[in-house]
Each structure stands twice: as structure tokens, then as C-alpha cells.
């Protein structure tokens, strides 16, 4: 690796922040349906920032590592940010599901039961906590794989080219006097 571990922290944090925030926002998170766009984007951002902090080109290994770290940080950010968002948006979603049931006439019983279960308020705190633990595990796995790929791609795309090298020739020592 061409850089120290300390140089990875800030780019990984910002890459993870991009991944986590965009993945947690209600309508914007749809971008992850298309090839894990925001997860890969977090790795790309991390690799870009790492390259900007370096005078020499980063290696693909550096990009993959900073992408992996961004994916892990992004998973944590996504789960933490999604909690207050789901508390705000959840009641609206349940109300829409209830209205759908009231307006729908001939809905198959399985679909009706699913919407009734979803629109119910009776979720226990244990159910919510277990759901968040599974969500964190899911996002860690997803972030570890796809953000690493994003970091690898970013290392290749944003790689700085070295200026043409010059040959260092030591000057000849002065002739010895007699």
C-alpha cells in the first residue's frame, strides 16, 4: 500500500457518509435498486478523495481498501439515519396502506392480509431492534462488497499520472589535484 492507514480515515468517512445518507433517504434510495448505485458511489468518492490527498497515484489495493472502509462506515450511517426517517415516514406509509385497502375492492386475500399487517401499529420494540440488527448486517455485507468494487474502480479512474521522469545524474567529482 502506498499510503498510511491514517490517510484512509477521512476519505472513507466521507465516502461512507455519501453512501449512507443517499441510501437512507426515502425516494433517493431507489438508486440502490439500480446496481447498488449509492453503495458503489460511496467507494468511488472515497477513492477520489484518497487520490486528491496523495501526490503519487494510489494503487488499486488502496482504492479497494478505502472503498471497503467506506462501505462499513456507510452501513452504520445508513442504519442510524434510517431510524428517525422511518419514525417520521412510517405513519404516513401505514396510512397510505390503510387507504389503499379501503379503496381497493377485489383484492386477493393474501395481498389484503399483507397490507393489513403492514398498516397495523402493533410492532413491538423487540421486532424493531431485531429488524435494525438484520438491516445493519445486510448493509455491512452489501457495503463491503459493492463499495470495495467502487473503490477499486475509483482508483483506476481517478489515478494521477506521474510526470515524465527525469534521470538523476550525479555530477562527476572534480578532478583530483596533484
13-39 pLDDT per residue, tens: 999 999 999 999 988 988 888 889 999
Rounded Cα gap, residues 135 and 125, in angstroms: 15
Rounded Cα gap, residues 133 and 123, in angstroms: 16
Assigned domain for 115 exists: yes
pLDDT for the residue numbered 2: 47
Assigned domain for 38 exists: yes
pLDDT for the residue numbered 38: 95
Residue 166 pLDDT > 60, yes or no?
A: no
Assigned domain for 11 exists: yes
Domain count, the chain: 1
Assigned domain for 93 exists: yes
Tell me how crowded residue 121 is: count the other CB atoms within 10 A of its CB.
Answer: 7
Rounded Cα gap, residues 178 and 166, in angstroms: 36
Residue 72 pLDDT > 70, yes or no?
A: yes
pTM recorded for the entire structure? 0.77
Confidence of residue 168 (pLDDT cuts 50, 70, 90): low
What is the mean pLDDT of the segment spanning 40-67?
Answer: 95
82-118 pLDDT per residue, tens: 988 888 887 787 777 777 777 777 778 787 777 666 6
Kindly state the cell numbers that stand for 10: 477521512
CA dihedral 18, 44, 63, 6 (to 10 degrees): -30
Rounded Cα gap, residues 145 and 127, in angstroms: 27
What is the mean pLDDT of the segment spanning 140-168?
Answer: 87
Assigned domain for 164 exists: no
Distances (CA, A) of 45 to 75, 132, 133, 166: 15, 26, 26, 32
Residue 1 pLDDT > 50, yes or no?
A: no
Assigned domain for 174 exists: no
Percent of residues, the chain, with pLDDT higher than 90: 48
Assigned domain for 167 exists: no
Rounded Cα gap, residues 120 and 26, in angstroms: 20
Rounded Cα gap, residues 65 and 147, in angstroms: 9
What range defines the domain where residue 17 resides?
6-157
DSSP for the chain, written as a single string: --S-THHHHHHHHHHHHHHHHHHHSTTGGGGGTTTTHHHHHHHHHHHHHHHHT-SSPPPHHHHHHHHHHHHHHHHHHHHHHHHHHHHHHHHHHHHHHHHHHHH-SS--HHHHHHHHHHH-----HHHHHHHHHHHHHHHHHHHHHHHHHHHHHHHHHSPPPPPPP----PPPPPPPP-
Amino acid at each position: 500500500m502506498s499510503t498510511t492507514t491514517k490517510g484512509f480515515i477521512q476519505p472513507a468517512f466521507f465516502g461512507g457518509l455519501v453512501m449512507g445518507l443517499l441510501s437512507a433517504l426515502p425516494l433517493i434510495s431507489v438508486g440502490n435498486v439500480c446496481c447498488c448505485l449509492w453503495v458503489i458511489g460511496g467507494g468511488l468518492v472515497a477513492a477520489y478523495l484518497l487520490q486528491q490527498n496523495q501526490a503519487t497515484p494510489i494503487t488499486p489495493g488502496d482504492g479497494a481498501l478505502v472503498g471497503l472502509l467506506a462501505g462499513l462506515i456507510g452501513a452504520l450511517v445508513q442504519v442510524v439515519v434510517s431510524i428517525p426517517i422511518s419514525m417520521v415516514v412510517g405513519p404516513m406509509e401505514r396510512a397510505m396502506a390503510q387507504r389503499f385497502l379501503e379503496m381497493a375492492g377485489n383484492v386477493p386475500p393474501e395481498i389484503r392480509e399483507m397490507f393489513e399487517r403492514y398498516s397495523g401499529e402493533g410492532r413491538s420494540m423487540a421486532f424493531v431492534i431485531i429488524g435494525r440488527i438484520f438491516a445493519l448486517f445486510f448493509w455491512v455485507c452489501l457495503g463491503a462488497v459493492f463499495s470495495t468494487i467502487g473503490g477499486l474502480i475509483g482508483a483506476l479512474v481517478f489515478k494521477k499520472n506521474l510526470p515524465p521522469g527525469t534521470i538523476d545524474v550525479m555530477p562527476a567529482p572534480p578532478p583530483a589535484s596533484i
